[in-house]
Structure 1
Amino acid sequence: MERQAYRIDKVGSTSNLKLVTESLDEPQANEVQVEVHAIGLNFADVFAIHGLYSATPKGSFVPGLEFAGVITKAGAEVSGFKKGDRVMGVTRFGGYASHLNIDDRHIVPLADDWTYEEGAAYLVQGMTAYYALVFLGGLQKNQNVLIHSGAGGVGIMANRIAKCYDAFTIGTIGSDKKLKVLEAEGFDAKIVRSKKFGNDLEEALNGRELNLIVETIGGEIFKAGYNLLAPQGRMVVVGASQFASPGSKPNYLKLLWKFLTRPKIDPQQMIQENRSVMGFNLIWLYEKVDVMDDLLKDMAKLDLGKPMVGQVFEFDQLHEAIKLFQSGRSTGKVVVKTNA
């Protein structure tokens, strides 16, 4: 069959991302073919398009890590799904398309009362937040948690998960225009990041220990948070938005300067101060299906509610969606609907 897909032949600029019509093979025995109804945008998409992501495929590829849609065909060995099932899923790139083939281990049923847009907004954000907080961060009841990019998809989910553990949560944002989102999501303290972030964080803690940080920024913000971590405190790095570029292509000199001047941590000092820094890449989880299953089962036990879909674009507006996402002005999840 033929499908529409946004394909990039040469990384380096979003302007190289072109909408094409191309053939899609029949699904293999362990795969299903999905008519995609909604696509979720992620920072990894932009970094891959710019050629700054180590997991970026070589040569021509279709970006996109998550989607929701309807199964149109099922391979001979697929037993848990059938034609007509509504599903949401994750893919190691390939999501920016009207149709795709996917291993049935990488999809889950989409609840009847969830929209396709909500389905495309849940898996990457939810698994990132849960893996960071619980699996790596070791979140315990009544701890104090700093969550950067609190009005974004991961930040919102991280706060909801932390609240299930009765945590005191501090959310940070880049603009006071997003304060209403933090208020609606029930963050206990809110910080608009600035050059006095360290002082603002200390004030927000108000004598409390800082036990856990979900770090997404980098640079001086990273450094200020690390310096206030309590003994046995953990910082889990899930992103580095300081390296994001608002334009169609990166400013490589600026990126190089940020890279060379990024904070350095002495392992010996970490031992003396009893602090930890961890990081992970969600693409790694793609190959660890058993871990993904455990994450989703554990998340299902929590009352996390539906994901917040902030902005929805049409398929032919994908470039506009990416521009908004890069600008830092979006809240919740940015989703693109296909023409299905």
Structure 2
Amino acid sequence: MNGIKRQVYRMPKAGSIKHLTLQQEPLPEPASDEVCVAVRAIGLNFADIFAMQGLYSATPPGSFIPGLEFSGEVLAVGSNVTALKKGDRVMGATKFGGYVSHININHRYIIPLSEGWSFEQGAGFLVQGLTAFYALTELGNLHRGMNVLIHSAAGGVGIMANRICKKFNAYTIGTVGSKGKVDFLLNSEGYDAVIVRDEHFAAKLATALDGRPLHLVLECIGGPILQQSWNAMAPMGRMIAYGSASFTSHGAKPDYLRLAWRFLRRPKIDPLRLPSQNKSLMGFNLIFLYEQTDLMLHMLQRLQALQLDPQHVGHVFPFAQMHDAIHLFQQGNTVGKVVVMVDQ
């Protein structure tokens, strides 16, 4: 292998998704500890949107390629790589750089595609599975019989979170933005209760709990929903915040006036009151776990030991329709994983 020409979606800098363009770039041979993967499927994540719009602190300065997870087939291996070989079906996680037809990446961020899984399913497992698992078990101290509130329940993280919770026999309440997702979550994913978020959310949550203490909240909405979820938590409860969907924009660029208004009206939880409230609020961003490779791999081993079903893939687009996939994803009307397929 003497290097190849690859297709990439690149941003000149963060700001507007309209500036994401398809380009052709050379890719050198993989380094000694790398593998070259011919990408077959790319998973979309909200971190991609925040990065492209310049709202993500971890976004690389200057020109960058979005994308955090993918699956594909090993095309070549570096001289020091012995655990993988050409032709292996794999899935991987990367700190940006995933919107591509081919990628060179350290072999430690690649694992074999699970037996019987499609490339689409593989592209929806690592980032969202690890996000849900680390937030619930490492930070949330999930254990048997807990009562758990999971926001954005029909998204990739929400689906994986519920499946993890069920391995611990937890009672799960999911929230969604539209009633069209309720039946899927109750009948296909096994949530115990599902709430459509609206101005009556607090009362709906109390009804769903039916006297049960709320032990754990997986929070990714922000705004009044965050505050009401916090208020409903029992003493010794834990809230794990891993996103803030209320700050997302459906357009190519952020709506800065709307963002400023929401920022000024955001919930304010006083740390001086936490001891008397006996509650915990923790934040989590998977991008920082990526830097702790040994810890990430340990979490991944524990996650795989649960033997979860593959991710639910709700929407599939061809590589040439990346912008259409992103636009649909932004609207919040998707169920499960949004995946972009790459023809090789």
TM-score band (shorter)?
Answer: over 0.9
Structure 1 residue 277 and structure 2 residue 276: aligned?
A: no
Instruction: Output the CA distance in 1 between the equivalents of 2:184 and 2:174.
Output: 10
Q: Compare 312-321 and 180-189 and name the one that shifted more.
A: 180-189
1:161 is aligned, of 159, 164, 174, to: 164
CA contact (8 A) 2:13 2:63 kept: yes
1:40 aligns with 43
Q: 1:1-340 counterparts in 2 under 5 A?
A: 1-183=4-186, 184-340=188-344
Instruction: Note the C-alpha offset of 1:317.
Output: 0.6
Instruction: Output the CA distance in 2 between the equivalents of 1:293 and 1:11.
Output: 30
Deviations 1:247-305 (A, max 9, x none): 11111111111112111111121110100000111000111111111111111221311
Deviations 1:115-157 (A, max 9, x none): 1000001011100000010000001110100000011100000
Instruction: Output the CA distance in 1 between the equivalents of 2:61 and 2:199.
Output: 39
CA contact (8 A) 1:164 1:303 kept: no
Unaligned 5+ runs, structure 2: none
Q: With the length of structure 1 as denominator, give the TM-score of the two structures.
A: 0.99
CA contact (8 A) 1:10 1:60 kept: yes
Instruction: Output the CA distance in 2 between the equivalents of 1:264 and 1:75.
Output: 50
CA contact (8 A) 2:5 2:27 kept: yes
Paired residues, number? 340
Instruction: Output the CA distance in 2 between the equivalents of 1:165 and 1:145.
Output: 11
Describe the SS at the equivalent of 1:312: strand
Q: With the length of structure 2 as denominator, give the TM-score of the two structures.
A: 0.98
Instruction: Output the CA distance in 1 between the equivalents of 2:176 and 2:39.
Output: 32
Describe the SS at the equivalent of 1:326: helix
Instruction: Output the CA distance in 2 between the equivalents of 1:39 and 1:156.
Output: 18
Instruction: Output the CA distance in 2 between the equivalents of 1:181 and 1:246.
Output: 24
CA contact (8 A) 1:136 1:236 kept: yes
Instruction: Note the C-alpha offset of 1:112.
Output: 3.3
Give percent identity, aligned residues only.
55
Instruction: Output the CA distance in 2 between the equivalents of 1:188 and 1:52.
Output: 34
Instruction: Note the C-alpha offset of 1:111.
Output: 2.1
Instruction: Note the C-alpha offset of 1:195.
Output: 1.1
Instruction: Output the CA distance in 1 between the equivalents of 2:26 and 2:288.
Output: 28
Supply the AA of the counterpart residue of 2:211: G
What RMSD over aligned residues (CA atoms) do the two structures have, in Å? 0.7
Instruction: Output the CA distance in 2 between the equivalents of 1:121 and 1:309.
Output: 8
CA contact (8 A) 1:171 1:189 kept: yes
Supply the AA of the counterpart residue of 1:190: V
Instruction: Note the C-alpha offset of 1:339.
Output: 1.6
Supply the AA of the counterpart residue of 1:278: M
CA contact (8 A) 1:41 1:322 kept: yes
CA contact (8 A) 2:13 2:61 kept: no
Q: Compare 103-112 and 47-56 and name the one that shifted more.
A: 103-112
Supply the AA of the counterpart residue of 1:136: L
Instruction: Output the CA distance in 1 between the equivalents of 2:240 and 2:312.
Output: 23
Instruction: Output the CA distance in 1 between the equivalents of 2:253 and 2:61.
Output: 18
